[in-house]
Amino acid sequence: MSIQREQLEGDVLIIGAGPAGLSCALHLAKLIKKHNASGAKPELSAESIYVLEKGREIGAHQLSGAIMNPNALAELVPDFEKSAPLDTPVTDSAALLFTKNSSLRFPITPPPFQNKGNYVVSLSRITKWLGGLVEATGVNVFKEFGGAELIYEGDGVAGVITEDKGVDKNGKPKDNFTPGYELRAKVTVLAEGTRGSLTKKLVAAKKLDNINPQSYGIGVKELWDVQPGRIQPGYVAHTLGWPVSTDMYGGGWIYGLSNNRVSVGLVLALEYADPQFDPHAAFQTWKTHPFLKKILEGGKLVRYGAKSLPYGGWYAMPRTYVDGGLIIGDSGSFLDSQRLKGIHLAMKSGMLAADTIFEALKSGDTSSKTLSAFPQRVEQSYIKKELWQVRNFHQSFQHGMLRGFVHTAFQQITGGRGLIDPMRAHAGHEAYKKINGRPAPERFKGDGKLTFDRLTDVYHSGTRHEEDQPCHLHVADTNICSTKCVIALSNY
């Protein structure tokens, strides 16, 4: 059955209202305002920019408690300190080495762990605030609208079809069925975050992959209200060692926010050998370390979240432009995995995309010839400078922490080149080893005070969805369950 869809046509369509998409929209709207005020032709309109966000509100899909390098925000909103919800400046940056029962602070904090001049923020509050600025310029932000399919035209893209609403879990229309919109634009910007559903289709369809496949990490985190005096606002610590074994890549963080709030989390590369390894359980175990116990005991869990992040860096960055389309932020691999920072790079990539789109709209040429100016702008910006220094960083750890540290030492003194450049990476899932009939471990239960089972944590994630709606998670190869995972599954 062919579905009649309402059509809407604009100049620019941005998919995703995270730091990248919102910075793109805001910067472009400001450029347009200045352009129109100068009387230059053609007249452009901020109202012809559409932003789609699948979350129920801006910021709903952001994890709170992050450290933000404010350099891009200072360019985007020069007086940001007056109104941005910054929470607190970083006052102390520590690097800690954990063994099971003890911790050792590095006497000198290594540069990647230095956070002087940065802010501890709630990213969800920052994006909400940015969203307000974007809407005030006249840009249309559509919340609870997920881009479901790309509209391809020629060698590029011409817009998206949004999700149909009112569909049951089997994909059948219900009484309240409303077909998705067909949104067309001269330029479609993919700012979906890590492993965006449309981005991955576009990258595959147009063969935009770089020399390395993207690799991913997962961050599992909790936000706690703790007893007064347990942590100073602005205290930032990164932990190495226990419980992360030396054949894995990962570490923890402890960020002190204002009002006795603390963000704690463990981030792990999704390329471990044991398919039964459980990052959530590892995070809960990490919280039982005496250093964390001292901070958290007597406190209360406020919020939980888990999210993936792209670790691949420069050599995993896809081609970021096609006819009528750009890829920015985490979707385009703009993340510094050594510093665990992507907010400022996402923002800056959004602004450089806006500069490129502005020129394209003025000239009336939105083909890849004009849009290829985007990666050139990236090359000349501090994005390249930062990501080039760490271009071989994550790959170095694909063979364990110890070898990773040796490579990193050489990279540090050779501006990122190291012993092998470019260092190739393998896709994370290729690291899995067969479990050979080993029974699945028992699920982590937690004590309900300091540690929690997964269900309790998910309850604290604020996730809400209808029972009778299509599932967004699809197993791409369903045979895998009978041919490869059958032993693991039958033990659950």
Ligand X SMILES: Cc1cc2nc3c(=O)[nH]c(=O)nc-3n(C[C@H](O)[C@H](O)[C@H](O)COP(=O)(O)OP(=O)(O)OC[C@H]3O[C@@H](n4cnc5c(N)ncnc54)[C@H](O)[C@@H]3O)c2cc1C
- Under the rule (CB under 6 A), what is the footprint of ligand X? 15-21, 52-55, 61-63, 66-68, 123, 146-147, 191-193, 196-198, 219, 221, 265, 267, 307, 309, 329-331, 335, 340-343, 346
Of residues 44 and 208, the one with the C-beta less far from ligand X: 208
Amino acid at 218: I
Please report how close the Cβ of residue 199 comes to ligand X at its closest, in angstroms: 8
Of residues 54 and 391, the one with the C-beta less far from ligand X: 54
Please report how close the Cβ of residue 267 comes to ligand X at its closest, in angstroms: 6
DSSP calls for 334-348? --BTTTTB-HHHHHH
Q: Among residues 357, 375, 280, which one has the least CA distance to residue 320? A: 375
Amino acid at 394: H
Please report how close the Cβ of residue 342 comes to ligand X at its closest, in angstroms: 2
Cα radius of gyration rounded to whole Å, the chain: 23
Of residues 11 and 330, the one with the C-beta less far from ligand X: 330
Of residues 44 and 84, the one with the C-beta less far from ligand X: 84
End-to-end CA distance of the chain: 40
Of residues 258 and 491, the one with the C-beta less far from ligand X: 258
Please report how close the Cβ of residue 370 comes to ligand X at its closest, in angstroms: 23
What's the DSSP call for residue 67? Answer: E
Under a CB-based contact definition with an 8 Å cutoff, are residues 149 and 161 in contact?
yes
Please report how close the Cβ of residue 19 comes to ligand X at its closest, in angstroms: 4
Strand extents, DSSP E, 170-249: 173-178, 182-190, 216-225, 235-241
Which region, left, alpha or beta, applies to residue 228 given φ > 0 means left and ψ of -120 to 50 means alpha?
Answer: beta
Under a CB-based contact definition with an 8 Å cutoff, are residues 179 and 5 in contact?
yes
Please report how close the Cβ of residue 189 comes to ligand X at its closest, in angstroms: 11
Of residues 44 and 122, the one with the C-beta less far from ligand X: 122
Please report how close the Cβ of residue 105 comes to ligand X at its closest, in angstroms: 20
Of residues 20 and 202, the one with the C-beta less far from ligand X: 20
Q: CA 339, CA 249: separation in Å to the nearest integer?
A: 14
Of residues 31 and 345, the one with the C-beta less far from ligand X: 345
68 HSE (CA, 13 A, CB side): 32
Under a CB-based contact definition with an 8 Å cutoff, are residues 56 and 144 in contact?
yes
- How many angstroms from the chain centroid is the CA of residue 205? 22
Question: Could you tell me which residues come within 8 angstroms of residue 178 by beta carbon, excluding any fewer than 6 positions away?
Answer: 164, 165, 166
Please report how close the Cβ of residue 469 comes to ligand X at its closest, in angstroms: 16
Look at the block and give the residue holding tokens 């510093």.
339
